[in-house]
Structure 1
């Protein structure tokens, strides 16, 4: 399994997931840069994603929805804040309605995804910081660790194909 560590810290309001992939950094970067590849790994296997907008540039916007097993849809958005291809990108990630308008009742996180070479593999560090400890606690209760880990664990299969 690619996920090798998960750390949550309510004091710093952060969730950090570390993973390693059997592929070079540039290959892992392409997954996040290409919405059709990203659809195969964003969201747990039973909640596949569909990306509607995908502008992975500073100031860009990414919108998507995940479709659950019963056909229900859950939307989200990113506001891309920084990109240093192929090493890192940063973005705000939030929940949205199906018109991709932010849902103010659910927490927003600031995210930094970093990819580095590590013993011929790629080490990915995914850090999400929430505005409040309550916001982090809310997504923990919603199953963010399980969902994100299941999503990330799909990447090895994608890069092997």
Structure 2
């Protein structure tokens, strides 16, 4: 793994947000595809030994990505990302939520509002991610679930794809 790649992860409890800045050794086009095409997302989105498995993806404003995080024992945790705005190879935003296999949102868990920006930086791409929450308790619950460790681990899976 290349340790020279930029990785910043910060939690701002006062404003109920998580900021992640991550550099990838690939072009904006390749990084964009890795974040927006289900066949590539399934290869990296879940931290090992978990796997991501897409049930459906409609990458357009108003569309959604319905997927499961599948554990080593076959257990499934479903989530749905609803796309709100898309500027090709520049940014996309939307809401992520836990759900059932049919995509019905589980309101007992916090929803996350994501904004992802993609910027070329020499021979690499920097993805800036801002995740916001309605309540501080929601942010804290996500962190307690191991979001930081899991998300940073998943991004290392993406590094491995770009190294191939």
TM-score of the two chains, using structure 2 as the length reference: 0.94
CA–CA separation in structure 1 for the residues paired with 2:35 and 2:63? 14
CA–CA separation in structure 2 for the residues paired with 1:18 and 1:94? 22
Partner of 2:162, secondary structure, is: helix
Q: Deviations over 1:1-29 (max 9, x none)?
A: 45611000111111111111111111100
The count of corresponding residues between Structure 1 and Structure 2 is 161
Q: Is the 8 A contact 1:95 1:103 kept in 2?
A: yes
CA–CA separation in structure 2 for the residues paired with 1:59 and 1:115? 20
The structure 2 residue matched to 1:153, chosen from 135, 139, 156, is: 156
Correspondence 1:16 to 2:32: no
TM-score of the two chains, using structure 1 as the length reference: 0.96
Q: Deviations over 1:16-49 (max 9, x none)?
A: 1111111111110011221010101111121100
Gaps of 5+ in 2: none
1:61 Cα deviation after fit: 1.2
CA–CA separation in structure 2 for the residues paired with 1:65 and 1:25? 26
Q: Deviations over 1:28-79 (max 9, x none)?
A: 0011221010101111121100011111110001100011111110000011
CA–CA separation in structure 1 for the residues paired with 2:59 and 2:115? 13
Gaps of 5+ in 1: none
Superposition CA RMSD, Å:
1.1
Correspondence 1:56 to 2:59: yes
